[in-house]
Amino acid sequence: MKIPFYKAGILTCLTISFLYGHASAESDLSTKCGEIKPNVNPSFQQINCLLTNAAIEADIPPEVVKAVATQENGSWKQFDETGKTVESPDGGIGLMQLTDQRGYDQDKLRSDVVYNIEAGVGVLSSMYSRTDLPKINGAGRKVIENWYFAVMAYNGTKPVNSPLYQLTGERNTNAYQEEVFAKLEKHSYITDTELAKYPFKTTDFSYDRDLTDSIKFNRFIYTLTSPVHNSAYFFKVGNRVATTVDGVKLREEPGTSILKKLPKNTALIIDGEFTYDFTNQYVWYPVRTDDPKIKGYVSSAYVIKDMVKPVITGATNKSIPVKSTFNALTAVKAMDNVDGNRTNAIQVSGKVDTTKLGTYVLTYKVADRSMNTSTIIRRITVYDNLKPIISGVMNKTIRLNSSFNPKTSVTARDNINGNLTSKISIRGSVNTKKKGTYTLKYTVRDYSNNVTTVTRKITIDSTKPVIFGAKNKSIRYKSSFNPKTGVTAKDNLDGSLTKQIKVTGTVKTKKKGSYTLTYTVTDKSQNRTVVKRKITVK
């Protein structure tokens, strides 16, 4: 690791604070990880333990610390074959390749591998605490991707470590932090997991590629579109985790016979503290499934804390007619990536009164068994889709010159607004002094803007009365004859007008011949009917 000299003042303050807070005290890592002999490289398993515990104590994902150690010293060696401290040409000391760390005991950095590891972890932690380096929006220290720029700063925020090539905008896979994270994916995730990528733009950084001055960061908050990854080293007994790929091997003991192959997103419960592998950087967790009889060990490379919330579907905003039936859970489902169907666990708060118009708010909440909770707000609008009803608007025939009020006996009622008679509007008019048929349009609108229109025809009476029985007839000579006998008249409005029949003409029964009678009747609308009748005396 090459830290630029001009940063030495800042780093000295930071590292001295770490030195006197933790690293200067007698470390307990040796107790946890076994006896460490002077000038002798600990075993791989011991180094794994030292790196892991130093990272956990500093609240850093061990995956990150191990990847940095691998980048700095691929063989994880503090000493060479002769027992001499490994040092790089640029002054990097020991396993963590610390350079220009004046706040630390230089001799102890060379002689004490535990001290060297704790110092490297302290420097990395101080890089994370810098306020001039970008972070992921909402992410904390346990999110692996959130250490991207701290890892860069561990080596130096120089143009050579720019995430993108300034001229082309291509990703700089040769940057220190890019190589560290590639090693992290390879060793901690066995290349089965891809870490989330930052959406870099060349405008995020300013630097002169012809100089060695540090990069200036123009953007300090990033939002990643892909899921980020929490460290797998902070699980507690009882935590629920999920497998990340298909075919995860549940083993009887770390690295031993396979008990079962687990599909992706299998729920597992952490059943104890992790143990170290002899040759790999990952660790082994004792786990059990929801069936307590199925238990064993899985690699930390293939489990992740279940942080995925259940997905609620079908709870979309909706408009329903007033007085219709509504069930808040109809067609609403909840599915979880690990627990599967969680529909029965959905809780709904809020009520919908389908008898009253308005917009009602329902809150849907569901949690998976890892207590990841999803909440959806749903709005149900009860609307009135029924038109008012107009009654009493019937076609009608009235007499000439009679009085007529188009609103008489006409009413309007609405299912919600009740009596709307006063809201009726009428288009058209009726001239009762002139015969004919007139059209009236009655319209009423309720408060929900539902409109009813009814057409009515009013006819001024032009129908003539009808005379019955005035048929031609032959009678005997000198017989009796009454011209009104058997003759009647009826009107569509006035009813019987028989008494109003007028007869003109006479019949002489004592004189043979043909006689013509004229029957006339007039109704109150001045509609007149005239019928001619022939009477023959034989």
CATH number for the domain that contains residue 294: 2.30.30
Residue 234 lies in a domain: no
Is the domain of 252 the same as that of 118?
Answer: no
Q: Would the pLDDT of 18 be above 80?
A: no
- Following DSSP, what letter does each residue of 322-389 receive, concatenated? TT----TTTT-EEEETTTEE-GGG-EEE----TTS-EEEEEEEEEE-TT--EEEEEEEEEEE--PPPE
Is the domain of 355 the same as that of 408?
Answer: no
Of the pLDDT bands very low, low, confident and very high (cuts 50, 70, 90), residue 1 is low
Is the domain of 250 the same as that of 142?
Answer: no
Residue 232 lies in a domain: no
Is the domain of 124 the same as that of 159?
Answer: yes
What's residue 209's pLDDT? 84
Integer CA distances (angstroms), 279 to 48, 163, 282, 357, in order: 9, 32, 9, 69
Kindly state the percentage of the chain with pLDDT values over 90. 89
Residue 267 lies in a domain: yes
The set of residues, in sequence order, having a beta carbon less than 8 Å from that of 307 and lying 6+ positions away, is: 230, 370, 372
Across 103-109, average pLDDT: 93
Is the domain of 440 the same as that of 359?
Answer: no
Of the pLDDT bands very low, low, confident and very high (cuts 50, 70, 90), residue 290 is confident
Residue 472 lies in a domain: yes
Q: 15, 105 in Cβ contact below 8 A?
A: no
The set of residues, in sequence order, having a beta carbon less than 8 Å from that of 23 and lying 6+ positions away, is: 104, 115, 118, 119, 122
Question: For residue 66, which amino acid is it?
Answer: K
Taking the whole predicted model, whether its pTM rises above 0.95 is answered as no
Is the domain of 42 the same as that of 151?
Answer: yes
Integer CA distances (angstroms), 399 to 162, 428, 432, 463, 522, in order: 100, 19, 8, 10, 13
Across 512-523, average pLDDT: 96
Q: Which of 251, 283, 305 is the last residue of a domain?
A: 305
Q: Would the pLDDT of 26 be above 60?
A: no
- pLDDT digit string (tens) for 78-90? 999 999 999 999 8
Return the number of other C-beta atoms located less than 10 Å from residue 181's C-beta.
22
What's residue 307's pLDDT? 85
Is the domain of 69 the same as that of 114?
Answer: yes
Is the domain of 406 the same as that of 473?
Answer: no
What is the distance of C-alpha 448 from the center of its chain?
Answer: 30
Token output for 142: 């346990």
Q: 366, 312 in Cβ contact below 8 A?
A: yes
d(CA 472, CA 517): 10
What's residue 322's pLDDT? 94
d(CA 463, CA 431): 17
- pLDDT digit string (tens) for 448-471? 999 999 999 999 999 999 999 999
Q: Would the pLDDT of 336 be above 90?
A: yes
Of the pLDDT bands very low, low, confident and very high (cuts 50, 70, 90), residue 324 is very high
Both ends of the chain: CA-CA distance in Å?
Answer: 149
Residue 35 lies in a domain: yes
3-state secondary structure of 147: helix
Q: Would the pLDDT of 6 be above 70?
A: no
What's residue 2's pLDDT? 52
Q: 523, 491 in Cβ contact below 8 A?
A: yes
Q: Which of 256, 275, 305 is the last residue of a domain?
A: 305
What's residue 8's pLDDT? 34
Which H or E run includes 106? Answer: helix 106-111
Q: Which of 287, 305, 323 is the last residue of a domain?
A: 305
Token output for 516: 């013509």
Integer CA distances (angstroms), 332 to 47, 59, 63, 87, 380, in order: 52, 41, 40, 64, 14
What is the 3-state secondary structure of 234-301?
CCCCCCEEEECCCCEEEECCCCCCEEEEECCCCEEEECCCCEECCCCCCEEEEEECCCCCCEEEEEHH
Is the domain of 296 the same as that of 318?
Answer: no
Question: For residue 53, which amino acid is it?
Answer: N
Strands 358-367 and 347-349: antiparallel
- pLDDT digit string (tens) for 395-440? 999 999 999 999 999 999 999 999 999 999 999 999 999 999 999 9
CATH number at residue 164: 1.10.530
- pLDDT digit string (tens) for 116-154? 999 999 999 999 999 999 999 999 999 999 999 999 999
Is the domain of 456 the same as that of 319?
Answer: no
The set of residues, in sequence order, having a beta carbon less than 8 Å from that of 82 and lying 6+ positions away, is: none
Spell out a b/e string for 293-312, using b for 16 or more CB atoms within 10 Å of the CB, else e.
eebbbbbbbbbbbbebbbeb
Residue 132 lies in a domain: yes
Kindly state the percentage of the chain with pLDDT values over 70. 95
- pLDDT digit string (tens) for 196-213? 999 999 999 999 988 889
Is the domain of 70 the same as that of 153?
Answer: yes
Q: Would the pLDDT of 25 be above 50?
A: no
Across 336-360, average pLDDT: 96
Q: 277, 45 in Cβ contact below 8 A?
A: yes
What's residue 70's pLDDT? 97
The set of residues, in sequence order, having a beta carbon less than 8 Å from that of 200 and lying 6+ positions away, is: 163, 164, 171
Across 236-264, average pLDDT: 94
Token output for 55: 């990272």
Q: Which of 483, 476, 532 is nearest to 507 (CA)?
A: 483
Higher per-residue confidence, 255 vs 534? 534
Domain count across the chain:
5
Residue 228 lies in a domain: no
How high is the mean pLDDT of the chain?
A: 92
Of the pLDDT bands very low, low, confident and very high (cuts 50, 70, 90), residue 269 is very high
Residue 231 lies in a domain: no
What's residue 292's pLDDT? 85
Of the pLDDT bands very low, low, confident and very high (cuts 50, 70, 90), residue 20 is very low
Q: Indicate the DSSP class of residue 492.
A: T
Is the domain of 18 the same as that of 137?
Answer: yes
Q: Which of 467, 521, 462, 468 is nearest to 493 (CA)?
A: 462
> Structural domain of residue 167, as residue ranges?
5-222
Across 311-327, average pLDDT: 96
CATH number at residue 472: 2.60.40.10
